Amino acid sequence: MLVSVDSRLLLAALVIMFRLATLLALAPVMDRRSVPIWWRLAAAVPLAWALAPAAVTQMPDLPARLGWPMLVLEGMQSLVIGALLAFSINLVIACVRFAGSLIGMQVGFAIVNAYDPHTNSQISIYGQLYYLLAVLLLFALDAHLVLIRVLVTSVTVVPPFTVPDLTGGALIVLRAYGDVFSLGLQIAAPVTLVLLLVSATMGVIVKTAPQIHVLVVGFPVKIAVGMLAVSSALLMFRGIVERAIASSTDLMLQVLEAMA
């Protein structure tokens, strides 16, 4: 029994698999060390085969014999495209971690950072808290389904074996990361302002009652007030994260349009 395989479909699936493997290696949750490589491949391979038919219709005519230089170049372009899409969705994570670092510094937890075995680095306690909450919101708001729709768009807007404008897409991502500071400050601003008022109040108390040891009294007070302020500020956290998710979705579409 003879089995015929469409070479264009096979090449499209392999190229898309490279793109998806890079995206999954850098995407939130999937970039953790606790996620085995085989799990990422198990997610990338079926998605690649599902998206390949849509990509084949947009692919240009290929030469009869493909050389290794062309295949390697296409593989490198797929890696860059996947990385740009991953950086776009990671905009939300960068915002919340930046906000958590600011809050941890104000509360006084900057000197008790936790060791993260997944990234082999020191992380802020509040940064990790906000990261976990942001990941929960990503799934609660169906952002993973939006990501799949963006992937379907990517294989038609930037099909395999074309010449995308990678520089234009990279510039858009770099400009967008300037919003990380503004969104992070929006998340951290309520808690930071409350803790600044606490610090000013402690300064006044020390001036009026010098016998009070500010280091002994100030740290427990700032930690308690900081935890209460963080709990209250979580009411605004969802709205800001929703806007960040919408911005990251628009960013991915803008990146694809710039590369087309």
Q: What is the pLDDT of residues 38-68, one digit of tens each?
A: 777 777 888 888 888 888 787 777 666 767 7
How far apart, in Å, do the first and last CA atoms of the chain sit? 42
DSSP letter at 143 equals H
Phi-psi region of 224 (alpha: psi -120 to 50; beta: other; left: phi over 0): alpha
One-character DSSP codes across 43-102: HHHHHHHHHHHHHHTTPPPPPSS--HHHHHHHHHHHHHHHHHHHHHHTHHHHHHHHHHHH
* H runs (alpha helix) in 90-213: 91-107, 125-140, 143-157, 166-176, 179-208
Confidence band for 111, pLDDT divided at 50, 70 and 90: low
Give the integer Cα–Cα distance in Å for 100 and 166.
32
Q: Name which residue leads in pLDDT, 57 or 214.
A: 57
Give the whole-angstrom CA distance, residue 51 versus residue 16.
8
Domains in the chain: boundaries: 7-259
What is the model's pLDDT at position 10? Answer: 80
> What pTM does this model have?
0.78
Question: Which pLDDT belongs to residue 1?
Answer: 47
Q: Which amino acid is located at 57 in the chain?
A: T
Q: What is the pLDDT of residue 63?
A: 67
Would the pLDDT of 218 be above 80?
no
Residue 3 pLDDT > 60: no
pLDDT tens digits, residue range 142-172?
A: 888 888 888 888 888 888 878 778 888 888 8
- What is the per-residue pLDDT for 116? 61
Q: Mean pLDDT across the chain, nearest whole number?
A: 79
DSSP state of 211: T
Percent of the chain with pLDDT over 70: 86
pLDDT in tens, 127-143: 788 888 888 888 888 88
User: For residue 121, what pLDDT is reported?
Assistant: 63
* Rounded CA separation 161/129 (Å): 42
pLDDT at 246 over 70: yes
Q: Are 69 and 157 a contacting pair, CB within 8 Å?
A: no
74-78, 108-112, 113-117, 210-214: which is most confident: 74-78
Q: Which residues contact 48 (CB under 8 A, 6 or more apart)?
A: 13, 14, 16, 17, 20
The pLDDT-based confidence of 229 (bands split at 50, 70, 90) is confident
Alpha-carbon gap, residue 82 to 251, rounded angstroms: 14
pLDDT value for 34: 66
Residue 14: what pLDDT? 84
Contacts of 146 (CB under 8 A, 6+ apart): 245, 249
Q: Which helix (H) or strand (E) holds 252?
A: helix 214-259
